[in-house]
Chain A
């Protein structure tokens, strides 16, 4: 229980860091898990949060209001019908300790179609990413469309 709260606070602080820190590299570092690829691109592009005045000055206050509304809605929905959890033993037995073998069995039986589709999707994603970033030898000037 205590561990959950410590981790919850850490995760929340990290999430706030992602959206509030000025320096993009710091923001990416706050999102510990999947930051490596983002760090590459941030360094490649030398991204800076632009100091130029925004064209949409009303957006930031609106965003905070929308965020508060969204938080209230989702939290109310989450608390709408609290139900009793089954005991730890029942859960542990059903999850089989969350062993990789059990999860693998689910993935390769019930989810096998989704698994194959994910494979195709990843391949398509790789090809798409490579074709997007490759340099075209003759830069087509004014080809915006």
Chain B
């Protein structure tokens, strides 16, 4: 039986790698991949907590997995819209370098 702490540590490690990836990658699509990494790190923690909580009864135990299911669906919607924005962006600029998108803030 693997302790929950190990799963949470792995989740923290993956989340950190994803966060660093968001900061160091310059191609928008790879920034996006890193965000996906962070989402799935959070999912891993949720599933681990779901197992930890299972002693409190099936309702509480499985609600963590239900939450993960919904997060996965939301991530799919996010990917569709995000990649759509990327394609539209690429058509306008022939580049997805996030350093060149400074004027988006105006």
A-side residues, CB < 8 A to B, are 1, 4, 8, 11-12, 15-16, 18-19, 24, 27-28, 31, 33-34, 37-38, 41-42, 44-45, 47-50, 52, 54-56, 59-60, 62-64, 66-67, 70-71, 74-75, 78-79, 82-83, 85-86, 88, 90-91, 94-96, 98, 102-103, 106-107, 110-111, 114-115, 118, 121-122, 124-126, 128-130, 132-133, 144
Contacts and interface: CB of A to CB of B under 8 A. Distances in A.
A54 B40 CA distance: 29
Chain B contact patch, size range? 35 or more
Given A54-B99, A82-B5, 8 more contacts: A1-B1, A18-B34, A19-B25, A31-B37, A70-B19, A78-B12, A90-B54, A121-B74
B29 A106 contact: no
A82 B5 CA distance: 7
Contacts of B20: 19, 63-64, 66-67
A129 B80 contact: yes
A107 B96 CA distance: 38
Given A64-B20, A85-B3, A94-B54, A38 B33 contact: yes
A55 B99 contact: yes
B55 A94 contact: yes
A98 B51 CA distance: 10
